[in-house]
Structures are given as C-alpha cells and as structure tokens.
A and B are shown apart, each in its own frame.
Chain A
Amino acid sequence: MSDIPTDLNYASSHEWVSVEGDTAIIGISDHAQEELTELVFIELPEIGRELTAGDPCAVVESVKTASDIYAPVSGQVIETNDALDTEPGTVNEDPYGDGWFFKVRLTDSSELDDLLSPEDYAEQVNT
C-alpha cells in the first residue's frame, strides 16, 4: 500500500499539491515513485516559467524510461528543489518531504477545487 497523506491534494496524473497562502508546493505521490522505480535524473522547470494546469513541466527518468510530470495547477515557478539535481533518489525515499519538486505562485486558486481529495486519490490508485 502506498502512502497518501491526508493533508495534501492530488492530481489524477499523480502529483501532490500543498498550499501555503498563494504558494503551492508540488511533488509526486508515493504511488508514482513506486511505479516509476528508482529515479536517476530529474529535470525541473526553470524559475520564472508560467505553467498552465495540465502542462508537462518536468521529466523524471528511471534507468528504463523517461516520464513527464504535469503541472497540477497554473502558476509561475518561484523555486525549484535543486538538491534533486545530484540526489534524484530522494524522491523515492521521501516523496512528500525532501523529494518535493518545485513551488509556484498560484494564478487561480479556484483550480485547487479541481484536485482530488486524499480519499478520491486513494480510490483512483487502488482500483
């Protein structure tokens, strides 16, 4: 069973979102890191880039494949987790903590209502 913290919201494409004021912190779920297997390279969006919800905005690479990560909400990228540059495996070890991807300043906070609750995401993952 993968871990699904109850204080976060989720996109059906397996990203999580944590909101602090007008800033959203974004990462990928425990289920996603398990499916992707051990990550060897992560490409994050550039700071300043304007993301629209649903945009492919990052790439994660396991030994075997490259996979896109999608922006769960719209906003401008204001910070990225540069530690992933040298330690991509942090995402596998701590997907909800040190393995966060980037922060955006939210363009439209009403988009948060479109995200899945932990219960709904758990249902998606387990069916």
Chain B
Amino acid sequence: MENAPLKRTPLFDTHTALGARIVEFGGWEMPVFYSGIAQEHQASREAAGLFDISHMGEFLFDGPDAFEFLNRMLTNDLAKLEPDQGQYSLLCQDNGGVIDDLYAYRLGQDRYLLIVNASRLEVDWMWLKAQRNTRHKSLQLEMIDRSHELSAMALQGPKAVGIIAGVFPAAVELRKNQIAELDFDSAATWVSRTGYTGEDGFELVVPNEHATALWDKLMSLGQALGLLPAGLGSRDTLRIEAGYSLYGHELTPETTPIEAALGWAVALDKPNFVGNKMLAAQKQDGVSRRCIAFKMTGKSAPPREHYKIFSTDDTSREIGEVTSGTQSPSLGCGIGLGYVESAYAKASTDIEIEIRNRRFPAEVVKRPIYRKPS
C-alpha cells in the first residue's frame, strides 16, 4: 500500500478522551478497545456496545438507471428490496473473485446507498466507475462518493432499541434490514436495523459535523443500561462468533461467494451480472474448497489466521487454513473460520488445527458459532 498518512474519524478525539487504545486498520487510526475486548464483547451481548464505523464508505447512486446498473454489479437481487430496505450483497470480478462485500439499501424509487469496507473503498469506487464508463456508458445515473462527509456508528445489543428510542423514536419501528432517514439536530441521518455482531441493533450514518453530538447523546442515554463504547477488537470477536466474513480474511479476489458459503447472497436467477457465469458453474459443479466455521473441542490455545487445518481420517493430511480465529469470549474456547476441502466442510466433521507444530481437535459447526440461549 502507499505510505499515505493514517486517517482519523471525526470521533478520534472522543476515543482518546475515553482512554481507547488506538491501532491502524485499513489506513485509519481506530480504537481497538476502551475498557477491554472481553468487557466490550459481553456488553454488546448482554446490554449494548457503541462502535465507531466512520471509516466505512458510503456511495450513492441516483437516477432512472441506478437499479439497472447496480443489479448488474452486485450478486444479490436488488429487485427483492422494498423501498427503505437493505440487503447483504457482494461485488465480484468477471471470474467470480470477490472485490468487496457490502450492504445495499434502496432509499427511494431510483436511489440506492452502498455501505462498503474501509479497506476496499478506493478499489470499489474505481471498479464501479470503470464499469460505468465502459460497459454501461448509456445508462442514466449519477454516482456520488459521500464517504468523506459522512460518519457512521453501530449501536448493537439487546438494549440498543431502548437506547435509540431516546434519539430516534421512529427507529424502534424498523424491522430487520429496514432503513429510515431521520432527523438528528436537523441533520438528515440514516438509521438502519442492521449490524455485524449477531445481535439486534442499529447502524447510523450522520454528517461528520454531527457525529460527536450523536455519539455523546447515545452514550449518555445508554449509560444506565450498561452501554459501553466498543472497539474493533470486540467487533471482530462478535462477528467471528456470529460466523460473518471479513474482507481480507474469508473474502479476497481469489475467493468466490460460493466458496465463501455466501451462495444465499448470489441471485443466480436474476438477469446477467458481473461474475454470474463463473458463480453459476460453481453452484452447479461444486467447489473444491469451502469456508467453514469451527470450534476447538479440547483444551488448546486459540486458533489464529494462517494456522493449518488437518483431516482426522486415515489420510490425516493438510486440508486447509484458518482465515480468522480467536478465543470466544462467550463460549470460553477457541473458535474460527477457515477454508477446507469441500469433503470436510459438513457440520460435525472432526478436524485438527495445527498450533505451534502440535495438532488440536476441533469440529466443523453451523453458523452462528455462538447462539444466545433463549
């Protein structure tokens, strides 16, 4: 990557005042934790956590052909979206390799919002611009990158709805994946019932100049309910427990959504889209490797990215690699995601993870890896 100076979100000073430990992530200086990863994780599962996600990108597509263009770019089917509804989707190359995973929202008849990963923002924008200017020159739409003017935060956890009610009473009525444009101090704010933790919660997109006021308001409303500011550390442990992919780990230009077990976000029944031929072939013929979720079954150190995965049958050979791993704060054992040969991808398959030259037993499990007892 280029040696550009690290970027800071409008909430940077708020984080340092809260005593956050700051790390580099995707070209940004971001809080990794405030009080501790485990506490923030637990708060998000049992009360609520507030995450700064302002580093993420926001692209707007406006015009009579916005639907047509985006539905050719993305794997999921935008036609399934009601107005003010969003869906998880992927941006792929012609060969099916993943450029990014994202959330696509339909804001009005001809208006769409994409929320993309910070680390892929420039790549996504250049790809979409190039597609627009070559294959889709005649389409009528405007593309606007609003990432630099907008901040975002995620309020996650069972108490999130009680907290958001104090700022956006209308948000309480949102159903999962719905989005609304609501007022905060006269600033248009997008509030969606979405998240990356496996909990109920909201994601809020607000103009930069209002970010601190909104953060402080949510923090003060949430204090009595156990809300904690939460950093990227717990964001990662929460999403691994939920079994969600992270770009650069489970998803890369060398992996496809089918291999990544994201076939549910690939609408092969819609008209042509970038990557559809390869993805349809993979869906029909099968893939040689698949992304799995797994849990360590005995006492061991936590699994980590790049650790090797072995089979436990007679062959006892290397069958894949860990792409994300951690100690699960909720389960108290090692958990992870990784790629294995497809024959070993079924739930309940016994596998082994190699940790510092020794192998430890693990088991392929269904997603989510952690499910709250109900």
Contacts and interface: CB of A to CB of B under 8 A. Distances in A.
Interface in B265-316: 300-302, 304
Contact of A66 (B32, B33, B38, B304): B304
A59 B32 CA distance: 22
A63 B301 contact: no
A41 B37 CA distance: 15
Contacts of A61: 301-302, 327
B326 interface: yes
Contact of B36 (A37, A41, A65, A66): A37
Given A61-B302, A63-B37, A64-B37, A40 B327 contact: yes
B96 interface: no
Pick the most buried of A43, A59, A64, A65: most chain B CB atoms within 10 A of its CB: A64
Contacts of A43: 301, 356
B33 A37 contact: yes
B329 interface: yes
Interface residues of A, number: 12
A31 to B, nearest CB: 14
A103 to B, nearest CB: 22
Interface in B222-238: 233, 236-237
Nearest to B233: A64
Nearest to A35: B21
A63 B327 contact: yes
Nearest to A92: B36
A63 B32 CA distance: 12
Nearest to A41: B301
A64 B327 CA distance: 8
Interface residues of B, number: 16
Given A41-B327, A64-B233, A59 B36 contact: no
Contact of B32 (A38, A41, A64): A64
Question: Which has the most chain B C-beta neighbours within 10 Å: A59, A62, A65?
Answer: A62
A64 B301 contact: no
B301 A59 contact: yes
Contact of B233 (A40, A59, A63): A63
A126 B368 CA distance: 43
Interface in A16-74: 37-38, 40-41, 43, 59, 61-66
A43 B38 CA distance: 20
Contact of B37 (A37, A59, A66): A37
B38 A63 contact: yes
A63 B329 contact: yes
A66 B301 contact: yes
Contacts of A59: 301, 356
Interface string B11-42: 00000000000000000000011001110000
Nearest to B32: A64
A113 B356 CA distance: 32
Nearest to B329: A63
Contacts of B37: 37-38, 62-64
B356 A41 contact: no
A61 B333 CA distance: 13
B38 A41 contact: no
B326 A64 contact: yes
Nearest to A86: B299
B251 to A, nearest CB: 20
Interface string A5-22: 000000000000000000
Contacts of A38: 36-38
A63 B301 CA distance: 10
A37 B33 CA distance: 10
Contacts of B32: 64
A37 to B, nearest CB: 7
Given A63-B327, A64-B233, A64-B326, A40 B33 contact: no
A73 to B, nearest CB: 23
A60 to B, nearest CB: 10
A22 to B, nearest CB: 30
Contacts of B329: 63
Contacts of B36: 37-38
Given A40-B302, A43-B301, A63 B326 contact: yes
**Closest 6 CB pairs between A and B?**
A40-B327, A63-B37, A41-B301, A63-B327, A61-B301, A61-B302
Interface of A: 37-38, 40-41, 43, 59, 61-66
7 contacts: A38-B37, A41-B327, A61-B301, A63-B237, A63-B327, A64-B32, A66-B301
